[in-house]
Chains A and B, each alone.
Chain A
């Protein structure tokens, strides 16, 4: 009996070829577009003679969102921030900025120009992240398109083509060609048993032929889509020779290359003009007097009718009493701050792992990528730097800032190195993609989120296994999401199912406000909101 392949399975096969990269990349962010909705809390205006008070801990995206919405409704709001700057992981590094890594503080020495910045934390806003876009609009943050996908970039793997980088367009053209050919062959063999009529078969064959640029015999023999080795305009063009599938399969980046620009990192993406922290500046314009910096919280205590927060500033201690506390301090740091939360709540705070993402950047003395037809996008390599990002802004200016490493899941490789070692490693690995790299870059900066002061971690990692939340993890998550004593809300992307995104941080703040309102109005339902 011939093997039966249904339409669904064919679609599944295609999806599988594309989606496994997401798994390999150890990223929960790839290939997923969670449903998002704009549901700004409708907070009844506060009675001016009796304004409810809220102390917000942490001036990142979650804290600022909560502060902004509550202030608009007439609440009395104070935001306490441990660092000397607002933003949390929303951090744009420019000339003269401090990178406050524990044990490795750096001052950025990039040229002082508007386009010479580096988004050290979030750097792209998916078009499906409606809440971030909502606040950009409300706060007057100008956006421009961010380019994630660019086929002119490179793919490099020591195991493939003697380690020589290959243009992404050439790589994907060949990969698609061979895959289309394989599908066409198999389909022809099996078609007699298929529930397809002749017209459907022809339609599919046409699509496959186009997808892979196959010849009349449905074979892949190379394609001009991969680019010309020479000619093409005034002379006849000569396509690059086809690269054998066997060669392409030598790199684990094979599946990644076909899937990287799907889902949440697929088009369209945006970035604020002038740096991601324009969003933070937008919030701060609306909260000019509410945020206090260099303030270290030393205790958070639930009271019968409110919450008491003690903090230290310049060696002096202060106490604030408020009706509510919205707390975005990373839970792994909150475990070291005196509190009277329940044992269950403390257990939940201690559970998530600290994210290990690592990024670094160079100032490029010239925009060498532009001479190589690259304007924005990402080159991929199997080395620990993993990615090189080219700025989508500042085209044809003299210099630019290039991302020299972004390792989301395996950042500890770099975190353990000294600053010089990190820089040298980034240069050495970058040289495999851009031969003269060493002489083209300077003034490297590094961001090891695991060691950043007042954070000690990138996004929280709830799941110990790839297969999703265990029952135990779900219990801990729900425990931490509920308010402690009906007064203390843990907020931030850390208390969402989709950590690391600004959208999640905003939604966490909205959730907490809505929950507070429901409880205040007495309309809370019995049991726990899930």
Chain B
């Protein structure tokens, strides 16, 4: 990953409208000379682990193996505040603010870099009833594919090999209206009603256990 110049980026953002609270502060700080500032240019790895292997302890999902189109879409959504700007959802707010100042070129750079990372096998942390999971998954298969392979045209990412604890959290976020409610989140708006078919945490665990089983 090339340098993501935080502070140059801060100065730039000041002129971009709609970046919420940050702009006023960016403006205030833009005047500060940062020439000799020791910049921290690596942000992702702090939460997402070395080479994007993910870190459940701080809640950062693995990035290695994400489809480039999906990764790009999510970075753009975070940057635009379509994702992660919901109040009092802290990990989303952090992610949103962390990418809010990325340029298109930096997003390209990130997507290319992450595409080169070794895909690691994530541990399965969720157990559930496979047969219930399989029947619930029929609902998911329409977009995510019978084998969880994903469907770019529908904006549905592949599910195989993703962190199950992360998918659990995302399903809960969709269900509770923290994700998939922004008017411009086309794919998310499709996903949100679909998650309502999962009536309980047990249903969520069951369907994730089934998705895990597609892995092997």
Which residues in A have some Cβ–Cβ distance to B below 8 Å?
A: 82-85, 96-98, 100, 102-107, 109, 293-294, 296-299, 312, 314-315, 331-333, 335-338, 349-350, 354, 415-416, 418-421, 451, 453-454, 456
Contacts and interface: CB of A to CB of B under 8 A. Distances in A.
Interface stretch (B28-36, B66-74, B145-153, B204-212): B28-36
A354 B90 CA distance: 14
A298 B50 contact: yes
Given A104-B97, A416-B90, A454 B46 contact: yes
B50 A297 contact: yes
A338 B41 CA distance: 20
Interface of B: 1-3, 6-7, 10, 20-22, 24-25, 28-29, 32-34, 37-43, 45-51, 53-58, 60, 88, 90, 93-98, 100
Contacts of A314: 3, 41
B25 A315 contact: no
A105 B6 CA distance: 8
Given A84-B39, A336-B45, 15 more contacts: A98-B34, A98-B39, A98-B40, A103-B94, A105-B10, A109-B32, A294-B40, A298-B45, A298-B50, A312-B1, A314-B41, A331-B57, A336-B53, A336-B54, A338-B53
Contact of A336 (B28, B38, B48, B95): B48
Contact of B42 (A82, A98, A349, A456): A82
B170 to A, nearest CB: 19
28 contacts: A83-B40, A84-B37, A98-B7, A98-B40, A102-B94, A102-B98, A103-B94, A103-B95, A104-B97, A106-B29, A107-B29, A107-B34, A109-B28, A109-B32, A294-B38, A294-B40, A294-B41, A315-B3, A335-B56, A336-B45, A336-B47, A336-B53, A336-B58, A338-B51, A354-B58, A416-B88, A419-B21, A451-B94
Contacts of B40: 82-84, 98, 100, 294, 453-454
B34 A85 contact: no
B63 to A, nearest CB: 11
A30 to B, nearest CB: 28
Contacts of B94: 102-103, 451
Nearest to A83: B40
Contacts of A96: 32-34, 37
**Which of A107, A312, A337 counts the most chain B CB atoms within 10 A?**
A107
B32 A103 contact: no
A100 B47 CA distance: 14
B58 A333 contact: yes
Contacts of B2: 315
Contact of A337 (B21, B28, B42, B50): B50
B178 to A, nearest CB: 14
Nearest to B96: A103
Contacts of A297: 50
Contacts of A453: 40, 43, 46
Given A96-B37, A332-B57, A453-B40, A418 B21 contact: yes
Contacts of B96: 103
